[in-house]
Copies of this chain bind each other. A is one copy, B any other.
């Protein structure tokens, strides 16, 4: 299959983008869905923002280098990647904090309803944030309801204030139908919050077209913004005047530098902001996001599907499908840009595979998760990765003591 892989690589419209990344020699990186690799421009920006801006221009950099505008500059860079028009996205805080803001605001807009419906296997922080609000506001104003992915639509009722969904499941990679679910929710007067953690930069997202109300997402996975890079918030234009999030810090004020001693919310997307932005992280993100200006998300999606289908075929060819049980949807259109496999020794296999030069990801309790990031992965990479996986699995190398379980991070 190597020849097939090499042929596919020659046809790849994204192949020139790979050279924008500083990937270490000898490593095949299948974990860009946890932490995207370092863009060369981001590495350069880290030096520039530190030595060149902070070091040289000090406080004057807030205006001179537009640090103060980074949340909106990065927001505008993210907007086209997620199908959002201008002035609807800002970059700030973490997904957890942003979910808290958006859910609070949505609940306040739905004062005669109290249920927040989400999936029982949503990413934990999404569930936890609703639990935090439930405890703070009481179940009469916020009641968390967890349902199976297959039961979402039938669970929506006239008491439901908000439907909170992650578009691509962090374990299985299942891709929910944003258009159908948003439409079903709207028919019942429900606001929808989409978490795009595993979709921004991985699949085409059409927030405006599908009528989404709010969205949050992170930038350190497929957007390659760096570890813990700031997250983002989308608030549809039609909601921006009523939207009122409670973490009303000075950056969300209509005129922050007037230093008024009472809060007057910005009437724009900037009301989503709270405190001072983490400039070093956000400036590096700004450089990483510049890569996306010329990228067509339909090419990204086509290559993502081709990569994952090739991977499944390679596993089959190498006789690995009896050891590793795929728990992702087998129809490519029903998943994001990842595949998940169940194995009793997934953690140890993941560690042994790392030692063999292939970095993938383990998710508790027993899942080996493979991310397909089309900007820098080649089909030949995948073939070599599968060959190494075969060695690890067939040799039972993973049973070695040194591969026993420690912590791992999303």
- Give A contacts to B, CB under 8 Å: 22, 24, 27, 29, 31, 34-35, 37-38, 42-43, 46-47, 49-51, 54-56, 58-63, 67-68, 93-97, 100, 104, 108, 120-125, 127-129, 131-133, 135-137, 146, 218, 220, 226-231, 244-253, 256-263, 274-282, 284, 354, 359, 361, 363-364, 406-410
Asked if A354 meets B50 with Cβ closer than 8 Å, knowing A22-B55, A120-B261, A125-B275, the reply is: no
Residues of chain B lying within 8 A (CB to CB) of residue A410: 276
With both chains docked as a complex, state the minimum distance between the C-beta of A362 and any C-beta of chain B, in angstroms: 10
Residues of chain B lying within 8 A (CB to CB) of residue A137: 136-137
Residues of chain B lying within 8 A (CB to CB) of residue A256: 124
A363 contact from B218, B228, B259, B277, Cβ within 8 A? B259
Residues of chain B lying within 8 A (CB to CB) of residue A22: 51, 55
Residues of chain B lying within 8 A (CB to CB) of residue A68: 407, 409
B263–A128 contact, CB under 8 A? yes
A59 contact from B51, B133, B361, Cβ within 8 A? B361
Residues of chain B lying within 8 A (CB to CB) of residue A54: 35, 37-38, 226-227
Residues of chain B lying within 8 A (CB to CB) of residue A359: 58-60
Inter-chain CA distance A48–B56, complex, in Å, is: 20
Inter-chain CA distance A278–B133, complex, in Å, is: 24
A-B contact pairs, 19 of them (CB 8 A): A24-B58, A31-B59, A35-B54, A35-B59, A35-B62, A37-B54, A67-B227, A93-B97, A95-B249, A95-B275, A96-B248, A96-B251, A124-B259, A124-B261, A128-B263, A146-B261, A220-B276, A226-B279, A258-B364
